[in-house]
Amino acid sequence: MPRPYWSGTLQISLVSFGVKFFVATEAKSQIRFHQISRSSGERVRHQKVLESSLEPQGEPDATDTAPAAATVVKDDIVKGYEYAKGQYVQIEPSEIANLRVPSKHTIAIEQFVSEDEIDPAYFDKPYFVAPDGDTQVEAFAVVRQAMQQAGKVAIGKVAFAGREHVVAFMASKDDTLRGLMAYTMRYQEELRKPSEYFGDIPTVAIEEDQLDLAEQLIKKRTTTFDPGRYKDGYEVALKELVDAKVNHLPIPQDEEVAPKRAKVVNLMDALRSSLQSNAASSQSDDEDSDEQQAPPKRVAAKAAKTPAEKTAGPTLVKASKKAPTAAKPGASKTHAPRRKSA
């Protein structure tokens, strides 16, 4: 099991038990860049130096060479708070570690709320929460199941990563997942006021017909959420660019596609056209599915292929070596199956 990000006690009134936090996300990017010099191609390194070593000393002389900046080693760097211009008070790591913040070690649940009461904009980072050892499992399981059945979210505070966070605990509805999910939350003052951005949107009268068509469109496009269907298209394009440059191939260029102008004159026509387009797309998908499931019909191939047939790929059956017999009078013609365009 990975190393926990935080360990401590979860306390609900007089009930308490040990828990462990694990980070629930990870970076999956396949492309990582370094900074290099355009002229030499060498990698650029960053060093921490004294500010005074970068300030000019006296009048510059063409014969003088720039002195090497004084590099500061890691152990000599501490935090500093500027209380006046150019005046700092030093803060040692040990002083920060000894801050009097109770939530560094214990998360006291302050309230339980319904999930629909929390605006999603408040949620920040997710964490997996598990009991810290077998002796803590019983209390953990009881509280988890009680939260699940009540449909409530537990709210508390925890201190890590240089600040104290509001944290929300949720019990999964899936009984096979016997842990809790924790989400750090933003403070109210960290969220901008939506009225500053939405206040200028004018109020419009919505017609019932428009609303009905919009609801039909939403209903037709409603499916089960599948997060696996979404991929990072930017990452894919970036990898294509890197591969092209490594292999000395033409660099892919973004093609500006002119926006399609829908032949509509108002919102009602746009909604109707969207519904018709969606229905046609669904019917086409169904037909494609039926064609893939149905076995292809075997037909007699012509002895001589046309030029188009020669370039279209292999036929469904081998051509007969014997000369084709004349069709009987009244016999229906046999048509070759339609080929899908590549």
Max Cα separation, the chain? Answer: 110
Coil/strand/helix, residue 266: coil
Angle, vertex CA 236, rays to CA 230 and CA 239, nearest 5: 155
Q: Tell me the per-residue pLDDT of 5-61, one tens digit each, with 9 for 90 and over.
A: 999 999 999 999 999 999 999 988 778 899 999 999 999 998 899 888 877 666 656
Instruction: Name the residue among 148, 158, 151 with its Cα closest to residue 184.
Output: 158
Instruction: Name the residue among 152, 110, 107 with its Cα closest to residue 11.
Output: 107
- Chain Cα centroid distance, residue 255: 25
CATH code of the domain made up of 6-26+98-190 = 2.40.290.10
Could you tell me how many residues make up the chain?
342
With a cut of 60, say whether residue 317 has pLDDT above it: no
Read off the tokens for 271.
Answer: 């909604």
Mean pLDDT, residues 150-179 taken together: 93
Q: Tell me the per-residue pLDDT of 85-120, one tens digit each, with 9 for 90 and over.
A: 999 999 999 999 899 999 999 999 999 999 999 999
Residue 164 is predicted with a pLDDT of 97
Coil/strand/helix, residue 202: coil
Indicate the domain borders of the chain: 6-26+98-190, 204-224+262-279
CB 298 within 8 A of CB 315: no
CB 217 within 8 A of CB 278: yes
Q: How confident is the model at residue 256 (pLDDT cuts 50, 70, 90)?
A: confident
CB 288 within 8 A of CB 294: no
What's 75's DSSP letter?
A: G
Cβ neighbours of residue 112 under 8 Å, at least 6 residues apart? 147, 150, 152, 153, 154, 155
Ramachandran assignment for 240, one of left (phi > 0), alpha (psi -120 to 50 degrees), beta (any other): alpha
Phi and psi at residue 57, to the nearest 5°? -110, 100
- Chain Cα centroid distance, residue 77: 36
Q: How confident is the model at residue 172 (pLDDT cuts 50, 70, 90)?
A: confident
**Minimum mean pLDDT among 13-17, 91-95, 271-275, 316-320: which range?**
316-320
